Structure 1
């Protein structure tokens, strides 16, 4: 049955047919094979979405951490429609270009930390990290150091599911059963002050810096191309590192000629209260990968910002030999420009700081609950660590999935979690009343969670 014919079927029958067609046809990421339920979303406005049965939910995940300006923004629809009616698609291969790609590149260079003036467009975060990894190795190759192939990453990191991006991701699920990963990748200990596991009683930054120095010495500084890291680990649990961690890492890498890649796929475009989290930590990476919030998810798009030094090396001679079909897609660039206009005009960076602070104040009371170990916050990026025991800080035996499900079903709140933490990344347009609704719903559900992970009725 076609989508148009399904759309003409009323109410519950339409939902049932959509659900049946979904089960028969779609392959979902991270969906257990025995789970037959589906929630079919059909509408969104502001911080809310509505499913095919008419129920409204607070989208506390901003879809997947990308809906900065909220759902249903007519300004973005108009920008896309205007571009589709003018020049819907073109490419940036060789000497070809288009006006919207040029305008967006200039805009991003103006917003980025000083020195990140050059732009390579992609269609998303995993593509961006692939490009950054390739550029890092190619940079050293072009400068006469082809033996610099090693990439340093961190345990529990997430950089996407493409081959290279998945290889530098530190979560086991992206390695088990998929065959060999990219060679010459080493995963370091991530700075996680709450867990404090594996630091041998040492200061978190001191431990991580010592491990980094020893790793550089063991591999050889002249064999390492780059280190990649999320300024704030998102999928890892909204883990905010100590303030001295990134400045000291950047200084050590620079001393050995090792490039620093910041994966800001989640943190860029206002999520932390800054255009880029690099500003918060006072660090200028050599390559900065963005996606998600660049268009608020209205269309797929991404951008890798690089220094002139890196750009000049990788584009010398015959140029950088890698590109995508949709690199610099003019409609995606037009949407990004309209999205950035909204973020700037509506002062959403300020709102991320103010409303994020208010939400953190409201969620502080969660720490009194037996299963809440810690609430972390930077801007409108928060993590709620759930524990079976506050003394040992062990995670719930069931993980956080049952809690996230209860939040959706009982409180009408959509968010995501990892085995340890609930991840809260609402749209940057979230207001105080919506933040209070989110806080009230979280408290009502988490107060019913037992140390074994079960949610009481």
Structure 2
């Protein structure tokens, strides 16, 4: 039993959590090291989702810990407006080493949600600067997730994250990319690229002169690891170019190694105009996000900024480029590079693919398995219109066995740390097979 009192449990309104269920039987994490958590009962729990897609380096990384401790003692906070500190500029340059060459202007935020909000605000402002102020609408995609802010749920396409909140920003949605007949595809399907042509229908309906940007995840993570089919992202890129619409990749999950590449953009061979990021920037140690913009977007604001003492972009956050977060980010990204972890994920991805797809035979209730890089989603047939029930049951069985996996909607989601050994992956998959077998 947890040592927490009922009053303490009741005081915390937990995010994206069934609070009533959790507080009846709390699952409390006490510490973490390497690929494992330790719960408050002293049990080792394998981290099958890298935190929340955040901790590819594992936990308790000495280099990051030391950088954070030194930074707190040296400069704990610095104002982000009108003044700067060295590490923010150093980290911005480091991030550009992972980005497509054209996306070399970095704006710092405090989270992925703030990164999305920043990208969409800048997209609107950019078109106003270009004399096209009617371009204010956004196009997202069904099953997309873009954070928890008003702009994020507006362009997002997961119904459970939208319906409770009413009207959001003026936005419309492309169909998702799970084409019928592509179930159990390993990696990218060669079917479904034509789904991008739905963008042409939305342009016909709303006119390109009114559309500021299209925002998609290269791989939709929170909806259950939905992989783009061959040619799909390039088709979106071509249509956006033809109709003068910005293309935004939300890479909060896919940036910095998860796809076996520096970014999802690199993995899938398509360059957007804007990339949002967070999570792996600091290995989850300190909250931080960022947005990478094409240099031409940045230059447009500089050229039309008025007197040089004026603000070119009246936007930012109290914790933009927080010095402790910057220290963590520099250490995290240096570790990824020096340990060759992007290459390690790429080299091990085929093995991961094979073991994940071996789960197909563990239960007839598994209706689809999807994978790319170090990510996988498993769809489970729903009983009596309760899509979340069986994934919840599997996740609780896995927790009892000593494994943390994510359940959401009708899926189980997996994203092991980059540093995980094959033996550890095998143990998790074997435990999953046993858990599915009990459904």
Shorter-chain TM-score bucket reads: over 0.9
Q: Is the counterpart of residue 434 in structure 1 residue 424 in structure 2? A: yes
Contact 1:152 1:185 in 2 (8 A): yes
Distance, in Å, in 2 between the alignment partners of 1:293 and 1:407 is 25
Partner of 2:434: 444
CA-to-partner distance for each residue in 1:315-352, whole Å, 9 max, x for gaps?
43140000100111111111101001111121111222
Distance 1:350 1:19, change over 3 A: farther
In the TM superposition, what is the alpha-carbon distance from 1:146 to its structure 2 partner?
0.6
Q: Is the counterpart of residue 60 in structure 1 residue 54 in structure 2? A: no
Distance 1:155 1:69, change over 3 A: same
Partner of 2:371: 377
Distance, in Å, in 1 between the alignment partners of 2:112 and 2:380 is 28
Distance, in Å, in 2 between the alignment partners of 1:416 and 1:123 is 23
CA-atom RMSD in angstroms: 1.9
Distance, in Å, in 1 between the alignment partners of 2:429 and 2:164 is 39
Contact 1:225 1:259 in 2 (8 A): yes
CA-to-partner distance for each residue in 1:232-260, whole Å, 9 max, x for gaps?
00011101010200011101101111000
Distance 1:39 1:388, change over 3 A: closer
Unaligned runs of 5+ in 2: 184-189, 306-310
Contact 1:119 1:305 in 2 (8 A): yes
Q: Is the counterpart of residue 28 in structure 1 residue 19 in structure 2? A: no
Contact 2:196 2:233 in 1 (8 A): no
Partner of 2:319: 326
Partner of 1:192: 178
CA-to-partner distance for each residue in 1:78-103, whole Å, 9 max, x for gaps?
00111112112113313x21100000
Q: Is the counterpart of residue 420 in structure 1 residue 407 in structure 2? A: no
Q: Is the counterpart of residue 387 in structure 1 residue 381 in structure 2? A: yes
Secondary structure of the corresponding residue to residue 119 of structure 1 = strand
Secondary structure of the corresponding residue to residue 177 of structure 1 = helix
Distance, in Å, in 1 between the alignment partners of 2:245 and 2:327 is 35
Partner of 2:30: 42
Distance, in Å, in 2 between the alignment partners of 1:91 and 1:278 is 32
In the TM superposition, what is the alpha-carbon distance from 1:21 to its structure 2 partner?
4.3
Distance, in Å, in 2 between the alignment partners of 1:406 and 1:194 is 30
Contact 2:219 2:227 in 1 (8 A): yes
Distance, in Å, in 1 between the alignment partners of 2:54 and 2:341 is 13
Distance, in Å, in 2 between the alignment partners of 1:171 and 1:283 is 24
Contact 2:250 2:275 in 1 (8 A): yes
Partner of 2:116: 129
Number of residue pairs the alignment of both structures matches: 423
Runs of 4+ in structure 1 displaced over 4 angstroms? 194-197, 394-397
TM score, norm. by length of structure 1: 0.89
Contact 1:360 1:375 in 2 (8 A): no
CA-to-partner distance for each residue in 1:123-151, whole Å, 9 max, x for gaps?
11000000000000000011111100010
Contact 2:193 2:230 in 1 (8 A): no
TM score, norm. by length of structure 2: 0.92
CA-to-partner distance for each residue in 1:181-201, whole Å, 9 max, x for gaps?
11x20011011135779xxxx
Distance, in Å, in 2 between the alignment partners of 1:381 and 1:168 is 23
Secondary structure of the corresponding residue to residue 24 of structure 1 = helix
Unaligned runs of 5+ in 1: 1-11, 450-457
